[in-house]
Every structure is written in C-alpha cells, then in structure tokens.
Amino acid sequence: MDRDRRAYPDPYVRTADEKDLGELVDLERICFTTDRMSRRSFARFLKRPDTARFLVLADEGNVAGYALALLHKQRSSARLYSIAIAPRLSGRGFGRILLREMERVVGREGWHRLRLEVRADNLAAIALYQSEGFQEVDRLPRYYADHMLAIRFEKLLPCAPGT
C-alpha cells in the first residue's frame, strides 16, 4: 500500500501518513457528532507505527475513509479503535473493504484477535461486524459521551504471519 494513486483504481486502501491529517480531521467531523477524535489524537496515532495501524480509503486522491487499530504488545488482540467512511461512499461496501484489510494487516503481524466497540444504536455497523464473523462478547453501559451503550465484538483472526 503506497501513496502513488496511479498504481491503483479508485477507491483504494493505503497506509495513512502525516499528509492526511487535515483530511482525516475533516472526515471525522462529517462522520461523527459525538466522541470525535481530535486533531492532536490523529497526529499522535499517525506518528506511532509501533502501537497503531492506520489505513485510509483514498478516492480521487482524497481521504474518503479510514480504519485505525491499536496494538498492545502484552495482549494477543488488536483493537479496532475507529472506522469511518465518507457519507458519499456509504452503503457501497467500502467499510467492509477497510475492515477486511485491517484484519489482514494485523493478522499478518501475528495478532490473534480483533476487538472493537460499537454504539448499540449503530445498526448498520453491527450488521457489518456480525456478517464478517465478529461475535458479541460484552455490553458496556454508558460507554460513550452521550451515555449510549456500547457492544464489544471480537473476531479470531487466521494469524498467518507474512501473508
């Protein structure tokens, strides 16, 4: 995954870099009304390849989606911290593409599970995660800033280093 868009049809997935910061912040503002990541948080995650995997969906040279996974060396699981797709591309399968690519990336690096939390009222995301083999493992009351319940999902990954 490199930044040279000439090598890929639109949209395509690549590793995020610091040049994406402004577009990531703009996308966050468009996609989320609560619990948004700050510019500072995005900048920090972009600078931490040892503890984070950050992918973007590029469309016509612009950031149209992202997926961020956090890695904990003491655990065998990676955590899908956030995923977003621009509303203009919503419902076209690009969230699934980002999710599968993140699974491939972290599985290849040896992580055995991918975990995530999702708002209980985000039915589209819940349906996506369930259709991709994620299993509900917990419910977290008052998890979000607006006190919405979160559902924690987990998926075992094939964990095939080097693939």
Query: Is 129 among the catalytic positions?
Result: yes
- SS3 assignment for 82-105: EEEECHHHCCCCHHHHHHHHHHHH
d(CA 99, CA 102): 5
Catalytic residue of the set 129, 132, 136, 144:
129
CA 106 and chain centroid, separation = 11
Query: Is 117 among the catalytic positions?
Result: yes
Catalytic residue of the set 60, 117, 132, 144:
117
Gap between the terminal Cα atoms of the chain: 14
| Helix, strand or coil, per DSSP, at residue 22 | helix
Torsion 70-82-21-91 (CA) sign: positive
d(CA 103, CA 136): 17
Instruction: Tell me the one-letter amino acid at 89.
Output: L
Write out the catalytic residue numbers.
117, 129
